[in-house]
Amino acid sequence: MESFAIHIGNFALSEPTTTISDFLLTLYCLLINLFLRRRRNGDAAMASWQFFFAGMGLSFLAGVFVHGLRHYQTEEAHYNTWMVMNVITGCSVYFAQIATSRSILKGGRGELLMRTTANVQFILYLVCIYLFHSFNAVKIQIAVAMVPVMLINFFDYRKGTKGGAWLGVGIGISFFSAVFHTLKLSISERWFNYNDISHLFLAGSFTMMIMGISRRMNGAEATEEEGIISPP
Q: Which of 29-33, 93-97, 159-163 has the lowest mean pLDDT?
A: 159-163
3-state DSSP assignment of residue 4: coil
**pLDDT value at residue 152:** 92
The maximal CA–CA distance of the chain, rounded, in angstroms, is 72
Task: Select 5-222's CATH number: 2.60.40, 1.20.1070, 1.20.144, 1.10.287.
Answer: 1.20.1070
Q: Does residue 206 carry a pLDDT above 90?
A: yes
Structure letter (DSSP) for residue 74: -
Q: Does residue 87 carry a pLDDT above 60?
A: yes
For the chain, give me the number of helices (H) and strands (E)? 7, 2
What contacts 230, CB < 8 A, 6 or more positions away? none
pLDDT tens, residue by residue, 110-148: 889 999 999 999 999 999 998 988 888 898 999 999 999
Average pLDDT over all residues of the chain = 88
Q: Does residue 107 carry a pLDDT above 90?
A: no
**pLDDT value at residue 2:** 60
pLDDT tens, residue by residue, 32-84: 999 998 877 777 888 999 999 999 999 999 999 999 988 888 899 999 999 99
Q: Is residue 100 within 8 Å of 152, Cβ to Cβ?
A: yes
- Any bridge partners for residue 14, and if so which? 5
Instruction: Please report which helix (H) or strand (E) contains residue 182, including its range.
Output: helix 164-183
Q: What is the mean pLDDT of residues 171-187?
A: 91
Q: Is residue 172 within 8 Å of 134, Cβ to Cβ?
A: no
Distance CA 98, CA 114 (A): 8
Q: Is the dihedral of CA 34, 151, 175, 65 positive or negative?
A: positive
